[in-house]
Structure 1
Amino acid sequence: MGKRKQDLGDVPMGGTNNAEDESDDDVDMINVDFEWFDPQPAVDFHGLKNLIRQLFDNDAQLFDLSALSDLILSQPTLGSTVKTDGNESDPYAFLSVLNLQEHQDKPAVQDLIKYIQSKASTTPSLSTLNELISQTPIPPIGLILTERVINMPAQVIPPMYNMLLEEIAWAIQDKEPYNFSHYLIISKGYEEKESKLDMEDSRPQKKTKKGGEAAQRFLFHPEDEVLQRHALCSGSYEFTHKQDDGHSDSKRAFQDLGIVTNGSMILLEAAKFESTVKAVAEYLQ
């Protein structure tokens, strides 16, 4: 069933960089009608699975993506998909939340919890998350999974978060297990990397960094900048499965430098979630 149809007007259909870094010459404008739907078990499985695979990037092979997709689709009144060609088409974006405490006995969620623990325990800025998720029993943490195809505008995100707030409130009224203590958002970013081919070339090197200077991290999702500002803790981590140097070169078709993707986690207190969603909407308006 369709939730809401919105005309976002002229929206940018650009690349992966933060919107603040894009010049007017680099962005094409197009008017698109987007429709928000509840997750549809009969039609969304493959599209949802592909978006989850994109979210986890190099480490997607560590998870049972089919089981995760089925779990998300098993709670069709919670979360949203975004489409442009009606209910029967594939989703271009999705947002959903899973109760880690409620589903901790499911193998697919157990894999997620182990993964979160392994990354949080080796990332100093995520020490608070590590302490939280290592508790027995695990607290009622709402794991937010959200992803969109590369050219989708960030403006589709605030409506999904606002709808999630409403749906959680209704679910709590109905005594359903969505009264969370924290929200954990899994996302990803990237670092620019100079090609070895360029370094071997006789031409002057491009954008080299000074010795010892830490690589600058960039965000695929501009809303993550706001989420991190309001977070109890946040941090980036390297994927367990790394790609070779040629892989980063394959992602530099339209820029001088290649990119190396990395994962990130953002932990929010439930009491601050509503105000954070409001801040995200104001930032992306």
Structure 2
Amino acid sequence: MSASHSAGTRGAPEPSSDSDEDVDVINVEFDFQAPSEIDFQAMKRLFQQMFYTHAPQMDLGILADHVIQSGMTQGIGTVIKVDDIEQVHDPYAVISAVMLGPASPASELLQTYFTTQLSKAASAKPFLDLLKSASESKPHLFVLHERMINLPPQVMPPLLRMLLEEVDGSLRETASPKPSHLIIFSRAFSADALEEGNEEDEPTGLAGARKRKARGEHAHPDDAAAAALGKPVSNKKRAAGSHDDGLGSFHPEDELIREFVSHSYTYRFPAPPDAADSYETPLFGRLLAVPFSDVPALLQRLLDVWPPP
């Protein structure tokens, strides 16, 4: 069972002496807890966010049940809540693991869903073959993680570190085989669609993206990565036909995880029913697979960028 920890977010920078505006600093204490049955509905909502427009076709209660049962029986998984003794809050983030290979309702749900998505394109065959190779003796560790959009990325390294320690303890206790790969799923957005125009008459959003595409110009994925990591953006362009996907990551750590992947695949989610009535940037699902032997280096990379306070 995960122990409780507290970690404060980094405060906003102090205003410069020549600034006339005050900068508000909000200090929040996060409590890292084991999942419990009271978190069921909140975890379902986080998984609905993760699977976006595909969520209605999935029984996400299976995943929420898996997280709760894994926490209760194996001590695997963590939720983050606001430290408040006066009331109980819903989780702001959840992380757990599903072993792909051994049969379980959660494993079957994920295998069926991702097999369906990966079967739609020939370019996805390498990842599909990897997914189908999962077995009792050679499983894959699927990291089931989602958090509220505005939660700082500094929470991810300790979450992943605790999860890996919990999984390792469970594997040693049951004499189970180590996973072949670690698989992570998250969402990405169109950097082209969100890029601001550089000219006064340049439209932004999807209209601007279509205009730039017609000229053979696209937002550079390096800028999407920089934006995700909170770094300056240079507004570089990439040429048409580039192998880069030009997508930005909802989770900044994805840009670092991609340095270690052996397999990756990205697919577009269907637009929501009201997309025609409001601006809705295209969203994508992104699968990343990292050889399990490279996971320690990946974790260290995350800790180097977001060290513990």
Q: State the 1:39 CA deviation.
A: 1.1
Aligned pairs (5 A) from 1:11-160? 11=11, 29-41=25-37, 43-76=38-71, 77-86=75-84, 88-104=88-104, 106=105, 108-123=106-121, 126-135=124-133, 137=135, 139-160=138-159
5+ residue gaps, structure 2, are: 13-20, 195-200, 220-245
Aligned-partner Cα distance in 2 for 1:187–1:194: 19
What SS does the corresponding residue of 2:258 show, helix, strand or coil?
Answer: helix
Paired-residue identity, %:
27
Structure showing greater radius of gyration is 2
Give the letter for the 1:171 counterpart.
S
What SS does the corresponding residue of 2:89 show, helix, strand or coil?
Answer: coil
Q: In the alignment, is residue 243 of structure 1 matched against residue 272 of structure 2?
A: yes
Off by >6 Å, runs of 4+ in structure 1: none
Contact 1:249 1:259 (8 Å CA) reproduced? no
Cα distance 1:34–1:233, how it changes in 2: closer, same or farther (>3 A)?
same
Aligned-partner Cα distance in 2 for 1:68–1:135: 22
Q: State the 1:134 CA deviation.
A: 2.2
Aligned-partner Cα distance in 2 for 1:148–1:191: 20
Aligned-partner Cα distance in 1 for 2:175–2:190: 41
Aligned-partner Cα distance in 2 for 1:174–1:242: 45
In terms of fraction of residues, the more strand-rich structure is 1
TM-score, scaled to structure 1: 0.78
Contact 2:141 2:182 (8 Å CA) reproduced? yes
Aligned pairs (5 A) from 1:225-240? 225-239=255-269
Residue matched to 2:212: 209
TM-score, scaled to structure 2: 0.73
Cα distance 1:125–1:282, how it changes in 2: closer, same or farther (>3 A)?
farther
What SS does the corresponding residue of 2:261 show, helix, strand or coil?
Answer: coil
Give the root-mean-square deviation of aligned CA atoms: 3.1
Aligned-partner Cα distance in 2 for 1:145–1:136: 17
Aligned residues: 256
What SS does the corresponding residue of 1:48 show, helix, strand or coil?
Answer: helix
Contact 1:93 1:147 (8 Å CA) reproduced? yes
5+ residue gaps, structure 1, are: 13-24, 196-202, 251-257
Aligned-partner Cα distance in 1 for 2:304–2:271: 36
